[in-house]
Amino acid sequence: MEDRDMKFDTLAIHAAEQHDQNQSLNSPIYMTSTFTFTDLQQADDTFSFKRRAYVYTRGGNPTINLFEQRMAALEGGADGVAFASGMAAITSVIMSFAKSGDEIIAHRNLYGSAFGTLKHLLPDYGVRTKFVNMTVPEELKEAITENSKVFYLETPTNPSMEIIDLETVVKIASKAGIKVVVDNTFASPYLQRPLEYGVDVVVHSATKYISGHGDAVGGVAVSKDQDYINKLKFGYMCELGGVMSPFNAWLLLRGLKTLPLRMERHASNARKIAHFLVKHPLVERVMYPGLESHPGHEIARKQMKDFGGIVSFDLKGNLERAKSFVENLKLLKLAVSLGDAETLVEIPALMTHRDYLEEELIKFGFLKKTIRISAGLEHPDDIIADIKQALEKVS
């Protein structure tokens, strides 16, 4: 049976399967830095691309390659490139499209390290970024100049849970000859496949939902353009050295096998948390696209299978009340990251999004007191009971 004939749930387990001589059910972990040749002719054939083989794990490894191909199958791409982290994937992809003098247009609300890279690091190399509200197409169009080379965005966004219409963004980009890069970490390929809307490259922090167990760090980029993937792998990943460990690739392959089941539970739990919070008298605002009151609800319904596992919200009162709430939780864990089996909670402005200046927070869609919950896989009644008791203590 060909991969193209399989459903997502089957692809997550079987796509691009490799068969080793011992017929192991799970692909072996090739924990080797170097691969050998039988003679110089074989080496020459390999280096001249007459023979497809492995040379050195920084440039290719069977375990890593399987993860890349499986992610490509799930995203609907031609191939992928694995990286040591999500940020390695993001920075490499952006550098592959933008050079000194070029401009990036990014959505106003991004993961803290992505925002920091675009605002503070890349200007040192002559690449500037404009931050706009991509939920307003006219604002995006007005930001374009002859130097604009990349649109960079997340949807849903971290932590404001804003929804950006991918079809609209791609249409605007196509007319201007601009590449579109989408971070699909919050949705995962199970809930959203941006390449189907014409997006050029999808990136993930595979540490999150792809892993699902909080035990592996990694990133991946996927595209429908095989030539671009070759350029990204050998011109950027290899040269900059952000290579994934074969062991982490194996852990991520394990995570992919249960991705559909986990995403359904994450989304179901998040929905129940959001509906509980929206009715609570101490809650000022809930940011979850599954709520009909969310401004991006209809767009999310159109381009997502479900609404994801993240809920952000503001309590009435000040930052001190938000701090007291998270410190009174017992079951929920105070931690960065998301997508794990455990339900995690954080205050982004104090943790993952410290690169945003205080005056930028409101402009970019969230507050200093905004709380973000990554719904885990526990029973929803237990998660909500813990939230309820913490709210009672700060009432």
Catalytic pick from 3, 58, 197, 285? 58
5 labelled catalytic: no
Interatomic CA distance for residues 382 and 255, integer angstroms: 24
Catalytic member of 111, 152, 209, 288: 111
Residues 51 and 194 in one domain: yes
Query: Residue 270: which CATH number?
Result: 3.90.1150.10
**Does one domain contain both 193 and 132?**
yes
Which of the listed residues 207, 235, 257 is the one where a domain comes to its end? 257
User: Are 251 and 272 contained in the same domain?
Assistant: no
Q: Distance between CA 336 and CA 112 in Å, rounded? A: 11
Tokens 């499209």 correspond to what residue? 97
d(CA 199, CA 202): 7
Catalytic site residue from 70, 165, 179, 183: 183
**Of all residues in the chain, what percent are helix, strand and coil, respectively (each to 5)?**
45, 15, 40
pLDDT score at 21: 83
How crowded is residue 238: how many other Cβ atoms within 10 Å of its Cβ?
16
**Residue 236: active-site member:** no
- State pLDDT tens for residues 52-75: 899 999 999 999 999 999 999 999
Catalytic residue among 108, 119, 149, 208: 208
Per-residue pLDDT, 321: 98
Q: Phi/psi at 16 (nearest 5 deg)?
A: 60, 30
- Mean pLDDT, range 287-299, rounded to an integer: 98
Q: What is the dihedral of CA 309, 229, 57, 92, to 10 degrees?
A: -70
Q: What is the mean pLDDT of the chain?
A: 96
Beta bridge partners of 153: 182
Query: Which amino acid appears at position 335 of this protein?
Result: A
In this structure, are 210 and 62 located in the same domain?
A: yes
Q: Write down which residue in 257, 276, 293 finishes a domain.
A: 257
**Rounded CA gap, 253 and 250, in Å?**
5
Q: Is 279 a catalytic residue?
A: no
pLDDT at 11 over 80: yes
Annotated catalytic residue 111: yes
- Do residues 284 and 314 touch, judged by C-beta distance below 8 A? yes
For the segment 232-261, the average pLDDT, to the nearest whole number, is 97
Q: Are residues 194 and 231 in the same domain?
A: yes
Q: What is the pLDDT of residues 181-222, one digit of tens each?
A: 999 999 999 999 999 999 999 999 999 999 999 999 999 999
**What are the strands of the beta sheet with 344-346, ordered from one edge?**
283-287, 310-315, 371-374, 344-346, 333-334
Quote the CA–CA distance of 362 and 360 in Å, as a whole number.
6
Instruction: Based on the fold, state whether residues 281 and 224 are members of the same structural domain.
Output: no
| Maximum distance among all Cα pairs of the chain, rounded to whole angstroms | 75
Domain endpoint, select from 237, 257, 277 = 257
Contact 173, 153 (CB under 8 A): no
Instruction: Report residue 305 CA to chain centroid gap.
Output: 16
Band (pLDDT 50/70/90 cuts) for residue 363 is confident
Domain enclosing residue 230, as ranges: 3-257
- Going by C-alpha positions, the residue among 256, 305, 302 that lies closest to residue 9 is 256
C-alpha separations of 227 from 49, 59, 231, 232, 238 in Å = 14, 16, 6, 9, 15
Looking at the structure of the chain, the number of domains it has is 2
Q: Looking at the structure, tell me whether residues 252 and 277 fall in a common domain.
A: no
